[in-house]
Amino acid sequence: MSRKKVLVLGGNFAGLTAALAVRHELHGDVDVRVVAASEEFLFNPSLIWLPFGKRRPADITFPLAPTFESHGVDFVHAEATALDLDGRKVTTTGGVYDYDYLVIATGYRNNFDVVPGLGPGGNAYTITTLEDAIKAGEGWRRFLRAPGDIVVGATQGAGCFGAAYEYLFNLSHQLRKAGLKRQVKLTWVSSEPFLGHFGIGGLPHGEALLSMFLKKEHITPVMSTAMDHVDEGRLVLGIAVAVDVPWQTPTPVGIPKTGFPAERMAHVAARNIAAQIKGEPPASRKPFGDIPAVCVMDAGNNGVIILADKMLPPRKHGLLIPGPQAHAMKLGFEKYFLWKTRHGYVGLP
């Protein structure tokens, strides 16, 4: 049997995991190539800290090439520009590559068009990419010189509400450290139907817990609303429109497809590719809604640990555990995950 070729597009959470996992599943008896637009791995969960100077870019990134090369994976720093599914070829800015199995793990893309004036070059900041988080840090330093009111929001269709909540609470914590908490009005605007929905339908007592957090931090919530546009110094809200999917909510709410579920899906893909190469049926399955919900929401010096047996309802178990141990856990997880990923230990939990 000739060696099969596996081509992975994307080199972050899912892409790196899929590439190394399929190599491990087949004990190296497979040719794996990764094509990624970025030559560095980025630990996205830490972007909430970068604008405040609590992290530098070098703290949360590492070069991909040495990690892949040490595990026998070919790495190409390029962008995919076209797919030829019939011919099993991918055209990239670095050449054309053929494959037997293709994994598309290119990650999220910002849809700035959903709200005019959002960006880039608009009237709001985002922390969804390293470059944007750096710009948000520049904006934060300007804010400290001339403070005013702040709005943090998650637009209609947003899929990662947890990071937005984390940034909101970290921002509140930094305002207190800067002695500005009493003079700055902080508002939270979200398309969620209620506090703590998170795009996963919420968890037991989640709304009450988040309400307590916002009250304690003197944050004003504006829920279940759509953003119309962003002017300079002003967010204009739109009229909510009822939708049928994915939730029966007045404003469209996305579902988080972030680090943990991305890893789980990558392992499923790797197992199925390995099985087919070995002549076995691709039997590995994991419906997205059945992936456990595991999240640590940081709040500067506090936080919430979110656990549930399923990502989406109906569930049997789900709980939120507030307290400073969540902040300590997130710090520890950051160090652990960067260590295991840099060394290619994708089989570790």
Q: How far apart are CA 181 and CA 248, in angstroms?
A: 36
Task: Report the 3 state secondary structure along the chain.
Answer: CCCCEEEEECCCHHHHHHHHHHHHHCCCCCEEEEEECCCEEECHHHHHCHHHCCCCHHHCEEEHHHHHHHCCCEEEECCEEEEECCCCEEEECCEEEECCEEEECCCCCCCHHHCCCCCCCCCCCCCCCHHHHHHHHHHHHHHHHCCCCEEEEECCCCCCHHHHHHHHHHHHHHHHHCCCCCCCCEEEEECCCCCCCCCCCCCCCHHHHHHHHHHHCCEEEECCCEEEEEECCEEEEECCCCCCCCCCCCCCCCCCCCHHHHHHHHHHHHHHHHHHHCCCCCCCCCCHHHCCEEEEEECCCCEEEEEECCCCCCCCCEEEEECHHHHHHHHHHHHHHHHHHHCCCCCCC
Q: Tell me: do 250 and 120 sit in the same domain.
A: yes
Looking at 201, 235, 255, the residue that finishes a domain is 255
Give the pLDDT confidence of 226-282 residue by residue, as tens digits: 999 999 999 999 854 443 344 556 777 777 767 778 888 899 999 999 999 999 999
Q: In which region does residue 148 sit, left (phi positive, over 0), alpha (psi from -120 to 50) or beta (all else)? A: beta
Q: Tell me: do 166 and 224 sit in the same domain.
A: yes
In-domain check, residue 331 = no
In-domain check, residue 307 = no
Q: Tell me: do 11 and 94 sit in the same domain.
A: yes
Closest CA to 271 of 34, 32, 36, 24: 24
Closest CA to 144 of 245, 249, 52: 52
Q: How far apart are CA 193 and CA 246, in angstroms?
A: 13
Q: Tell me: do 121 and 249 sit in the same domain.
A: yes
Q: Are 108 and 15 in contact (CB under 8 A)?
A: no
In-domain check, residue 332 = no
Q: How far apart are CA 249 and CA 241, in angstroms?
A: 9
Q: How far apart are CA 167 and CA 161, in angstroms?
A: 10
In-domain check, residue 320 = no
pLDDT of residue 239: 57
Q: How far apart are CA 209 and CA 256, in angstroms?
A: 20
Q: In which region does residue 265 sit, left (phi positive, over 0), alpha (psi from -120 to 50) or beta (all else)? A: alpha
In-domain check, residue 217 = yes
Q: Tell me: do 130 and 236 sit in the same domain.
A: yes
Task: Report the 3 state secondary structure along 218-261.
Answer: CEEEECCCEEEEEECCEEEEECCCCCCCCCCCCCCCCCCCCHHH
pLDDT of residue 174: 97
Domain extent, residue 206, equals: 112-255
Q: Tell me: do 132 and 234 sit in the same domain.
A: yes
Q: Tell me: do 120 and 161 sit in the same domain.
A: yes
Q: Tell me: do 73 and 158 sit in the same domain.
A: no
pLDDT of residue 119: 80
Q: How far apart are CA 96 and CA 289, in angstroms?
A: 36
Q: Tell me: do 82 and 127 sit in the same domain.
A: no
pLDDT of residue 242: 42
In-domain check, residue 321 = no
Looking at 234, 255, 276, the residue that finishes a domain is 255
Q: Tell me: do 58 and 83 sit in the same domain.
A: yes
Per-residue pLDDT 10s for the chain (349 aa) are: 589 999 999 999 999 999 999 999 999 999 999 999 999 999 999 999 999 999 999 999 999 999 999 999 999 999 999 999 999 999 999 999 999 999 999 998 889 999 999 988 899 999 999 999 999 999 999 999 999 999 999 999 888 899 999 999 999 999 999 999 999 999 999 999 999 999 888 999 999 999 999 999 999 999 999 999 999 999 999 854 443 344 556 777 777 767 778 888 899 999 999 999 999 999 998 888 888 888 888 998 899 998 888 888 888 888 889 999 999 999 999 999 999 999 999 999 8
Q: Tell me: do 45 and 158 sit in the same domain.
A: no
Domain containing residue 87: CATH number = 3.50.50.60
Quickly count: other Cβ atoms within 10 Å of residue 216's Cβ. Answer: 12
Number of domains composing the chain: 2
